[in-house]
Amino acid sequence: MGRFFSDIVEQALRDIYYDVTTGRGRESFKRLEQASWAGDGDASCILARCYCGHQYVWSGHEFPEDDDKAVGLMHKAVQQGSAIGVLLALRSGELTPQLRAGMPFSSLKEAFDIVLEKARQGEPFCQYTIGNTYFWWDFLEIDGKGKESFPSQEAFRAYLIENIAKCEDWFWKAFRGGMYHAANNLNRYYSQGDEDLIAPQPEKAKDLWKIGAELGYPVHQYIYAKELQEKGRSAEAFEWHKKAAENGETDSWYYVGLAYEEGKVTGQDYSRAAQCYERGLKDGIGCHNRLGALCFDGKGVPKDEERAVKLLTWAYEQGNKWGLVYLGKAYFYGRGVQKDYVRARQLLGDVTWSNQDASYMLGVMYAQGLGVDQDIRKGVEHLQKAGDLKEARDELAKYKKNLFGKWIRRK
């Protein structure tokens, strides 16, 4: 038996929260399922959080998200006698009167005291849970107190301030002990304060992500790298993105790949860029776009226009327009996909920024009536926007204005 929970739960907390870089998150998830079925209420509680999505557990674990299962497991945790399950059910609004009446604790205070003792002995998840009871004012219900419990508004206010402020120390303990989530509430506490009771202290929030990055939390390494980028500290940002990516924060592979592709911080290396983008494909729109472009041009990878179209189309279908010109070229020239001027015009017509290639292709289609009713005047306007692009100049030379000022094709 572990020091605070069962061996399975303690191992799961290490793999799922305290050291996500072990790569054993899904393994521990399965063990929690088994322990939950065997009657371990704390296992049911942690498993419930695993089903709640990235706000409650690191997205790098790729756990399934299922609100109904989460609620069912939370109820089960209470029924199985988990003190942390009681506090989390209370926090999430799931501690129904019926569930509360049937829990194997005489009161909320009894469950709270059990968790508090474990927090005092150094258990990070419990420290985080206790911090939340103060941060979200759950202590009022736990103590069974309200405004009417105090002789004056001033006394009630003093009670609130005293208890809310306790969250700070507990969150810091949890944060340094492995609960990176605690930084989110610390950041909110420092940045916003709490109504008119706790004044904001934004200066205390400025180094949170740096501290988290140095503690080895991948998501904070990613956030801190973004902060460094915004400050123009590109070399440092690259190193932190690299650490985050290697630790499992797949969003950072895009920035590492971009650094290799552009060669501003590192030597330009299209092959390494492509490798990075490949590793960030899971949900990465940027990686789909950039790898698609490299495949289309044959930079760093063998030319594969068919795959390029698939990658760029996926990103476009997520609402990102970055690859529109590449997709327009694919359909205009029939590269990696069957030639389709109608589709090419639709895609290129959605380009909202200046691009010589897009203007040239649109110009040709309108001037020649490819995939659209012929409109030489409109075609010429697009060709003129293509500027000094040779293909555009050559195409423009095929048209002139007649005596009536109408654009016509030269004979």
Q: In this predicted structure, what is the pLDDT of residue 239?
A: 97
Distance CA 103, CA 105 (A): 6
Those residues with Cβ within 8 angstroms of residue 209's Cβ, 6 or more apart along the chain or in another chain: 183, 220, 223, 224, 227
Average pLDDT, the chain: 95
Asked if the model's pLDDT at residue 1 lies above 80, the reply is: no
Higher pLDDT, 411 or 100: 100
Structural tokens at position 351: 């380009």
Q: In this predicted structure, what is the pLDDT of residue 404?
A: 83
Q: In sequence order, what are the beta bridge partners of 407?
A: 401
Those residues with Cβ within 8 angstroms of residue 51's Cβ, 6 or more apart along the chain or in another chain: 63, 64, 65, 66, 67, 69, 70, 73
Return the residue matching tokens 């500027």: 387
Distance CA 30, CA 81 (A): 21
Which CATH class, in words, describes the domain spanning 212-351? mainly alpha
pLDDT tens across 228-253, in order? 999 999 999 999 999 999 999 999 99
Distance CA 405, CA 259 (A): 51
Count Cβ neighbours within 10 Å for each residue of 216-246 and write b for 16 or more, e otherwise. bbbbbbbbbbbbbbeeeebebbbbbbbbbbe
Q: CB-hemisphere CA count at 13 Å for 122?
A: 2
Would you say 217 and 181 are in contact if contact means Cβ atoms under 8 Å apart?
no
Q: In this predicted structure, what is the pLDDT of residue 211?
A: 97
What are the start-end ranges of the H helices in 302-388?
305-317, 324-333, 341-348, 356-368, 376-385
Percent helix, percent strand, percent coil in the chain, to nearest 5:
65, 0, 35
pLDDT tens across 284-321, in order? 999 999 999 999 999 999 999 999 999 999 999 999 99
Report the predicted TM-score, pTM, of the whole model to 2 decimal places.
Answer: 0.90
Calculate Rg over the CA atoms of the chain. 29
Asked if the model's pLDDT at residue 2 lies above 80, the reply is: no
Distance CA 139, CA 143 (A): 6
CA dihedral 63, 66, 68, 70 (to 10 degrees): 30
Distance CA 53, CA 66 (A): 8
pLDDT band at residue 283 under the 50/70/90 scheme: confident
From the CB of residue 92, how many other CB atoms can be counted at a distance below 10 Å?
15
Q: In sequence order, what are the beta bridge partners of 198?
A: 194
Distance of CA 141 to the CA centre of its chain: 33
